[in-house]
Structure 1
Amino acid sequence: MEYNTIDRVLLGASSGLVLFSVVVLGVLEILAGKPYSPVEITNEAGEVVATPAIDPTIRTGLVLLGLAVLLVWFGYRALVPADAGTSESIHSREQTAD
């Protein structure tokens, strides 16, 4: 299967969003230090003593956006014929005589 420009852009955007939100933001969360909890940590008095460095809603949203882009690519590939991007059709190829 050959990928055209649209395929490469959509696959790159999808994988870039997912990798950025999982790997890069995960590493930033680790570098920020403890706690690694996705929720705010409170003390016995109810005061917030620690929050995550990056809001989990943002990370989840980026992953879902990456998956949505992948779904758009899948829909594009399902609707566009496989030979739409080629300049030669099956009938115009040269064949050698026996």
Structure 2
Amino acid sequence: MKQPDIIDKVAMAFSAALMLVGIVGLGIVEIIAGKPYGAAPLTNEAGEVIATPAVDPTLRTGLVILGLLVLAVWGLYRMASTEPAEGDARREVTAD
């Protein structure tokens, strides 16, 4: 198995940071800001908006999706850059 190089470490750290900021960091901001904790604005019986979330839910979702995309691109890079091991010699087998 190939040891992680600098590209692997940067990709893993960057994607983890994006997802942690999107989930944990902005979640803590929402808790500190107070209610409402949901993604949708609160309305009264007349339909007027009385409270909105402190952080836009599309921003949080975008950070998490960007982190997942970085992981996907890194995975494709690893698949393309991995060389076969020494014991993985390909040989042709003929059927009888």
With the shorter chain as reference, the TM-score category is 0.7 to 0.9
Task: Tell me the number of residue pairs that the alignment of Structure 1 and Structure 2 aligns.
Answer: 84
Give the Cα–Cα distance (whole angstroms) in 2 for the partners of residues 6 and 18 of structure 1.
18
Residues 45, 37 of structure 1: alpha-carbon distance in 2 compared, 3 angstrom cutoff? same
1:2 is the counterpart of 2:3: yes
2:42 maps to what in 1?
41
* Amino acid across the alignment from 1:42: T
Normalised to the residue count of structure 2, the TM-score between the two structures is: 0.82
What is aligned with 1:56?
Answer: 57
1:64–1:28 CA distance, 2 compared to 1 (3 A): same
Secondary structure of the structure 2 residue equivalent to 1:49: strand
> C-alpha offsets along residues 12-40 of structure 1, whole Å, 9 cap, x if unaligned?
11000001100000000000001111101
Distance 1:14 1:58 in 2: 15
State whether structure 2 residue 8 is matched by structure 1 residue 31. Answer: no
- After the TM superposition, which parts of structure 1 deviate over 4 Å for at least 4 consecutive aligned residues? none
The answer to whether structure 1 residue 20 and structure 2 residue 38 are counterparts is no
1:67 equivalent in structure 2? 68
| Whole-Å separation in 1 of the counterparts to 2:35 and 2:49 | 14
Note the 1:56-95 alignment, pairs <5 A: 56-82=57-83
Could you say what the CA RMSD is over the residues aligned between the two structures, in angstroms? 1.4
Name the structure 1 match of 2:93: none
- Rounded to whole Å, the distance in 1 between the matches of 2:83 and 2:19 is 27
Which runs of 5 or more residues in structure 2 are unaligned? 87-96
CA deviation after TM superposition for structure 1 residue 81, in Å: 2.2
Identity %: 52
In the alignment, structure 1 segments of 5+ residues that lack a partner are: 84-89, 91-98
One-letter identity of the residue aligned with 1:23: V
